[in-house]
Structure 1
């Protein structure tokens, strides 16, 4: 059985918010299982189940996976899947798969992921009574409002799947407070009918289409950033409201991409399969739906999906998935289900810099005016003022525009945004590596100083990832910065800017005609390892730098400092 380390909840209730600004049709819901017991003997669990009218015993926790043979000791009985098209499936063969073996509470003729889950449990010799209550495009709030009579029955296990963008930060079109509120409401509803019920959250996935629609960078960096935001929200709900666990389906999708088994753009490169439907690049394909069911199977039953048959008569074969691909999907499901839970999963809260000081060619004032070569000497945030600044060395910048300069234009883009000099800026950075040559701690704070025309606002959407000394990505740690997290400085106003500057070389639209006649301004954002999703700094001991990816960022300085 898989060990499931659980933390006690810290928060008990959230205020109701308005519904999400962007509700997309045909999206999936999260699976939630509340479990109120820890490690008990099987006999004791059976007695507990009987005392509350359960049809089966809760899952028995152990420290190791012992295979399908011991899965029969896991909780069986009735299980309800609550969600939308990310649960019931978007297209055939998934939509109606195995519908005759399960109950559709809404009489829609759906099989979907629950139908695949049922087949996997039958393959393993387990007896689950599977029901789905799914509505295309629905949110958990909507299910609570309209389907309480179904969800509020005495189920042994309930899986909750939220609308796929609602858990995202509000700056990405989400409504996380509504997600948290609905999760807790449904949890209380289920536990009222059966206090011993297990509740699982079904973590959904990032996709090429959703990354674009929600304003993330395209490609694998955007998938990683969006999945990081989803993961953070799901584990916060898990922590705050004492759910049984999180089925990390979305992390399984990302793992398949990072291992080269699926193309991040849903393409057809050799040796890959399509995780997402070709109709919209957002819903799951048959491969994605099978992976979702396998992750849920592993998390809910505690059995090892790697031991499942992929030959004739198996769920994979009936869906038209070859044995090699199915074996890889089962392995990824196992790896995703056994990932350690992020302890105290952080909520990303980067801080804007509100003041800066400079040395060199600078005229003091509010804001300071840089008149030539200058050095950044301090930054102020809500945490304090910091002077122990360390600048990064940049390399691999792929921006195509000529960097701007107070003096002569840098010989090459990689020379820009290095050290603490603010006279140079890498204009419209595509991607670039920034190395510090030092280990990071929980007290490390990174910063990006950004330039913008005085007529506009400071800040650009940017994806940050950790890298090692060879510029290779470290783990799955990433942060999706949004423009509003930089120093607040409205278009046409420089009063809140960190400094103003008149570039004399570089892009004509920025330097003006004659050069130096158009004014720009500086702003900055700061962020920590926790914002990147790091809960234990020793786990990223190989990290020595960060990679920035953005189609519009103009980084003048990238660096770090240490808080007391």
Structure 2
């Protein structure tokens, strides 16, 4: 969990308490179903409320609204940093905060069709201002999807990481939220999902997983589950899942009648209501729906607005999806020895790994593994003299050499494992490729025999996110002068390599009872392509 700090001066009575006192007796519109008993009434259980200050919305047409009346709504009360005269969903959010008696200065930085990577490259001067207390990031609608569905999840993660780092470099106490977008009738077909409600559910599941994975791994304040709000309105029979054949009686259309992809006035209002509920943690069911309200301004009936308020409340009070494992990429490392400063650092000779960082923190209590039985098919690579054996190449915390294509290998630690143990692998690959290779890890005992059936399958995406041809996010770079020509180059040392890493726990290996693996002393790593430099462990507090 990442602490959230409130930076704007608090009013005499905290805004959330005002909401409870003013609205606590108002349950919901009489036409609505009651809330499920299993859902908590305490909004935002994993983060503190944000009651005001300077908030920036970054995104594209899913943020600024693609059509009137949302596109220009309340534009005089918000700041469009690009000078386009847009109000959009931030304008609706602003009106809702005014209705609730909160003081937010709302700005938006939006560009139609663009990704967060585009914003990072082209709008860093706007986003990277110390004035922002809260920043909300919305990715292009299909980028977070699996690659098999036409997405680019690595691009999403990299851009979110870069923008988070940019914001925090200017204001270390800023709140950062990810704005989860929605599945749509048009998108499910384009991206290869089934038609109808099953397709909406499947696409939203992929979006949800991508946003929460990025939030956990990168350390965001939280995810605003706008897309889940859309799906809930469909599941409750309030929104028509297939507007193309006409809107069923008693239902509304969440998507634009023009393209069945962007948000309609109802969709834009629901988006703003979910943002309002999650960020401020004020119960939206007490928001006014009569003359002068945002709902009335947009032409949304009191009944529909009441349903949308209720859905926003339900979504904002949902517990975050359960975390199935603690497997985490290594996002930073420090080295001692022959290291040249840079971004990332360059290892020029014998160097030692001193610390590594994941979203759980930075750890320097590293214990190295002693390698044996490595059956790599290629000659070990190194800076300077080639190591005598593959086992030597992958022993200890030295980062100046590595075993190419490990094949199989045993890594012994000589220490007992606990629930707080985190294992890690730091591996090397050419700068022209992405870090990470398919790898199987199993628990072994001191005799190198497998312990039970405990194993873990690692994929490329589990390692440090470093795209092919890019070294900016890698842990370090180096140029091998000994080893196979495909790694060292010709002349030797002319090809650049980079380091990346992954950490994981006993739970990731499937261990639920540590005493059941008391005889485990090491790991066996099997891969035809992995080039491990360092295998080790550390303990979390």
Whole-angstrom distance in 2 between the partners of 1:316 and 1:207 = 23
Partner of 2:89: 113
Report whether the alignment pairs 1:150 with 2:116. Answer: no
The partner residue of 1:270 within 230, 246, 249 is 249
In structure 2, do the counterparts of structure 1 residues 302 and 150 end up closer, same or farther at CA, with 3 Å as the change threshold? same
The partner residue of 2:221 within 228, 244, 264 is 244
Residues 134-162 of structure 1 deviation map (CA, whole Å, 9 limit, x = unaligned)? 00001000000000000001200000000
Whole-angstrom distance in 1 between the partners of 2:123 and 2:160 = 14
Whole-angstrom distance in 2 between the partners of 1:284 and 1:244 = 25
Partner of 2:360: none
Whole-angstrom distance in 2 between the partners of 1:179 and 1:73 = 26
Report whether the alignment pairs 1:336 with 2:302. Answer: no
- Superposition TM-score, scaled by structure 1 size: 0.51
Partner of 2:117: 141
Task: Say what the alpha-carbon RMSD is for the aligned residues.
Answer: 2.9
Partner of 1:538: none
Secondary structure at the residue paired with 1:133? strand
Report whether the alignment pairs 1:309 with 2:288. Answer: yes
Whole-angstrom distance in 2 between the partners of 1:61 and 1:171 = 44
Q: Is the 8 Å Cα contact of residues 15 and 102 (structure 2) preserved in structure 1?
A: no
Partner of 1:428: none
Secondary structure at the residue paired with 1:200? strand
User: 1:37 Cα deviation (Å)?
Assistant: 2.2
Q: How many residues align?
A: 302
In structure 2, do the counterparts of structure 1 residues 321 and 131 end up closer, same or farther at CA, with 3 Å as the change threshold? same
Q: Is the 8 Å Cα contact of residues 55 and 78 (structure 1) preserved in structure 2?
A: no
User: 1:56 Cα deviation (Å)?
Assistant: 7.2
Report whether the alignment pairs 1:201 with 2:190. Answer: no
In structure 2, do the counterparts of structure 1 residues 85 and 150 end up closer, same or farther at CA, with 3 Å as the change threshold? same
In structure 2, do the counterparts of structure 1 residues 106 and 338 end up closer, same or farther at CA, with 3 Å as the change threshold? same
Report whether the alignment pairs 1:126 with 2:105. Answer: no
Report whether the alignment pairs 1:324 with 2:303. Answer: yes
Residues 182-208 of structure 1 deviation map (CA, whole Å, 9 limit, x = unaligned)? 001000000011011000000000000
Partner of 2:198: 221
Partner of 1:160: 137
User: 1:66 Cα deviation (Å)?
Assistant: 3.5
Whole-angstrom distance in 2 between the partners of 1:260 and 1:156 = 38
Partner of 1:76: 52
User: 1:79 Cα deviation (Å)?
Assistant: 0.1
Q: Is the 8 Å Cα contact of residues 68 and 124 (structure 1) preserved in structure 2?
A: no
Whole-angstrom distance in 1 between the partners of 2:191 and 2:324 = 22
Whole-angstrom distance in 2 between the partners of 1:160 and 1:69 = 30
Whole-angstrom distance in 1 between the partners of 2:15 and 2:322 = 19
User: 1:344 Cα deviation (Å)?
Assistant: 1.5
Whole-angstrom distance in 2 between the partners of 1:67 and 1:95 = 34
Secondary structure at the residue paired with 1:312? coil
- Superposition TM-score, scaled by structure 2 size: 0.53
The partner residue of 1:286 within 260, 265, 268 is 265
Residues 292-314 of structure 1 deviation map (CA, whole Å, 9 limit, x = unaligned)? 00000000101000000011110
Q: Is the 8 Å Cα contact of residues 82 and 132 (structure 1) preserved in structure 2?
A: yes
User: 1:75 Cα deviation (Å)?
Assistant: 3.0
Whole-angstrom distance in 2 between the partners of 1:110 and 1:192 = 28
The within-5 A match list for 1:83-482 is 83-154=59-130, 155-266=132-243, 267-344=246-323
In structure 2, do the counterparts of structure 1 residues 317 and 146 end up closer, same or farther at CA, with 3 Å as the change threshold? same
Whole-angstrom distance in 2 between the partners of 1:174 and 1:346 = 23
Q: Is the 8 Å Cα contact of residues 16 and 281 (structure 2) preserved in structure 1?
A: no
Secondary structure at the residue paired with 2:105? strand
Structure 1's consecutive aligned runs of 4 or more residues displaced over 6 angstroms after TM superposition are: 54-57, 60-63, 67-73
Q: Is the 8 Å Cα contact of residues 84 and 135 (structure 1) preserved in structure 2?
A: yes
Q: Is the 8 Å Cα contact of residues 3 and 221 (structure 2) preserved in structure 1?
A: no
In structure 2, do the counterparts of structure 1 residues 86 and 345 end up closer, same or farther at CA, with 3 Å as the change threshold? farther
User: 1:263 Cα deviation (Å)?
Assistant: 1.0
Secondary structure at the residue paired with 2:289? coil
